[in-house]
Structure 1
Amino acid sequence: MSQQQSKQRHLITVTNPRSTVSEAFRSLRTNIDFSSVDEKIQVIMVTSSGPEEGKSTVTANLAAAYAQADKKVVLIDADMRKPTGHRTFSLSNRYGLSSLLSQQANLDEVIQESEVPNLSIITSGPVPPNPAEMIASNRMTATLQELRQRFDIVLIDTPPLLAVTDAQIMASKSDGVIMVVSYGKVKRDIAVKAKAGLDRVGARMLGVVMNNVKRKASEGYYYYYYGN
């Protein structure tokens, strides 16, 4: 495995663009683009009901899929409690979203270029004591407004819905939400409870990505399915 592939070990859309999984991410991208005729879907939040369902991997691959379609994309790691974005893209996390929201850095200082053309990253930054308050802040709203002007697509990776309130707060600031569900791991009532939390804040559910569905023996357990 090359050094670049090692850095992008989670980005199958980059390392193996002709795979079935990569095609599934392109289909997901297309479904999102056609999910609304009247309103532009630009700020998209990705979350899950619980931990370890693969939401960060889905967000990173979807971001790469958009970038490959010549869209200017920024991925925000808004999981300031258990961040992974800086590791996925092998970037520094000295400054990031928490630095921006606490006014320790400006927007230009926290936007980093990834090795994927057209894809920029805002890492989480140092773990703050008050992530939910930061996400709810007017500064977060203003940041998203500025990113709308600079980028075609803004993808946001958030903590799980049932763990903390961060995702529900961010959902209210987004154009739409994708929920990642790990097949066979999450019980239906838990997923329904998570979606109810989104409904309470008026979030627009774009769809569900069913993770770890094994279709054929040759495809392994990393096929993603999009559905309403």
Structure 2
Amino acid sequence: MSDLKEPLHYASSKPVDAPASKPTAGLHDRSIGAIIAETRNLSADQVERVLQYQRERGIRFGEAAVALGYANAEDVLEALSKQFHYPYAASERKSRSPELIALNQPFSSQAEVFRGIRSQIMMRLYREGEPRRALAIISPDTMDGKSYFTANLAVTLAQLGGRTLLVDADLRRPRQHEIFDVNNQAGLSSILSGRSEPRVIQQVEGMNSLFVLPVGAVPPNPVELLERPAFGMLMRELAGKFDHVVVDTSAALYGADASIVASRCGAALVLARQDRSRVLSLQELTDSLDGVNTTLLGTVMNQY
């Protein structure tokens, strides 16, 4: 579907007891000027100077504020994100979360690639009259960039405004709790083991519509836990409660984990790495989905 590049890692969140939607105010309910003035604590005189500079040159308020040294480009981007209710990471957050390109640099060409992939997924996964399904991201090998891809795809889905859940079902080498910096004391493994834990689903800081279900403790029996009926029931329940459910998985080289997760989700997307993934491995992975009730949406070629 497209080529992507992979950077590093980290992010942030806060736990919630019961994820709930929050009402969204109308677009353009505050001007860019008002937001920048509040963020930069501009005085009335400074605002008037910006307005005069804006009128004289026929430019936007943000451009005028930057030209006069009252704001910077980052302030303008943050103001735009607030005005259009578009999730955008603050400066201090970016240093902790460099992997979340779609959140840290939502107006970049790389983020645009993720949005293009999101559009393809939306057209293929969500069809009128069909039950809602979770989407498993699967790949043949480690270091394919699967966790990075899954995290950014979840961000772009959440940027549409619908409630989005990212489930880390990589019970062998989980990474989503590191990428989003969520508490990993309890999670999917706790649920599948029958242990009742509070607040296992956590809301991502700065994104009202994005939630993460981490793995929790890495279990000694990942395949057995995933094969239990509880996992399939959980996926169906979550797909009914969230607008989008994206699931990270273990690399196929570890065993049957990826194909089991894909079969329980109902839909899968294959991630391959350019100049590394072997055709035979990809064929074996797709063949493992034959005969199961799973729709294979396509393949993404990751370049990094």
- Return the alpha-carbon distance in structure 2 between the equivalents of residues 75 and 6 of structure 1: 22
Q: What's the CA shift for 1:19?
A: 1.4
User: Structure 1 residue 24 and structure 2 residue 116: aligned?
Assistant: no
Residue 187 of structure 1, CA deviation:
1.8
| Higher deviation after alignment, 31-40 or 21-30 | 31-40
Alignment of 1:87-166 (within 5 A): 87-106=178-197, 109-115=199-205, 116-166=207-257
**Larger strand fraction of residues:** 1
Match of 2:156 among 62, 65, 86: 65
Can you give the 5+ residue segments of structure 2 that lack an aligned partner in the other structure? 1-89
Report the CA distance shift for 1:41/1:20 in structure 2 as closer, same or farther (over 3 A): farther
> How far 1:9 moved relative to its partner?
1.6
Distance, in Å, in 2 between the alignment partners of 1:42 and 1:8 is 29
Would the alpha carbon gap of residues 88 and 139 (structure 1) be closer, same or farther in structure 2, given more than 3 Å must change?
same
Aligned residue pair count: 212
2:284 equivalent in structure 1: 193
User: Match of 1:224?
Assistant: none
Alignment deviations for residues 129-149 of structure 1 (CA, whole Å, 9 cap, x no partner):
111111111211221222123
Give the secondary-structure state (helix, strand or coil) at the position aligned to 1:58: helix
Name the counterpart of 1:167. Answer: 258
Identical aligned pairs, as a percentage?
Answer: 34
Tell me, in whole angstroms, the C-alpha distance in 1 between the residues paired with 2:218 and 2:274.
Answer: 30
Aligned partner of 1:23: which letter?
E
Structure 2 Cα separation of the partners of residues 131 and 52 of structure 1: 20
Query: 1:140 aligns to what SS in structure 2?
Result: helix
Q: Return structure 1 stretches of 4+ with deviation > 4 angstroms.
A: none
Mapped to 1, the partners of 2:231 and 2:104 lie a distance apart of 33
Task: Kindly provide the amino acid, as one letter, of the partner of residue 111 in structure 1.
Answer: I
Task: State whether residues 179 and 208 of structure 1, in contact with CA within 8 Å, keep that contact through their aligned partners in structure 2.
Answer: yes
2:161 partner amino acid: D
**d(CA) in 2 for partners of 1:7, 1:175:** 34
Q: How far off is 1:188 after superposition?
A: 1.5
Amino acid aligned to 1:95: A
**Cα deviations across residues 62-106 of structure 1 (Å, max 9, x unaligned)?**
000000000100100000110101100011110010011112225
| Residues 1:34 and 2:149 aligned together | no
Segment drifting more, 53-62 vs 170-179: 170-179
Aligned equivalents of 2:165, 2:235: Cα separation in 1: 11
* Most deviating of 36-45 and 199-208: 36-45
C-alpha contact 1:95 1:105 (8 A) present in aligned 2: no
SS of the residue aligned with 1:110? Answer: coil
TM-score, normalised via structure 1 length: 0.87
Q: Displacement of 1:190 after TM fit?
A: 1.8
In structure 2, the partner of 1:4 is 93
Take 1:174 and 1:149, find their aligned partners in 2: how far apart are those partners? 12
SS at match of 1:34: helix
Q: 2:167: which partner in 1?
A: 76
Q: 1:40: Cα distance to partner?
A: 4.8
Distance in 2, matches of 1:40 and 1:26, equals: 23
**Separation in structure 1 between the aligned mates of residue 196 and residue 178 of structure 2, nearest angstrom:** 21
Most deviating of 49-58 and 35-44: 35-44
The amino acid that maps onto 2:262 is A
1:41/1:176 contact within 8 Å kept: no
Q: Aligned ranges for residues 45-60 of structure 1 at < 5 Å?
A: 45-60=136-151
Instruction: Tell me how far apart the structure 2 counterparts of residues 71 and 42 of structure 1 sit (CA, whole Å).
Output: 15
> Could you say what the CA RMSD is over the residues aligned between the two structures, in angstroms?
1.7
Q: CA deviation at 1:200?
A: 4.6
| 1:218 matched residue in structure 2 | none
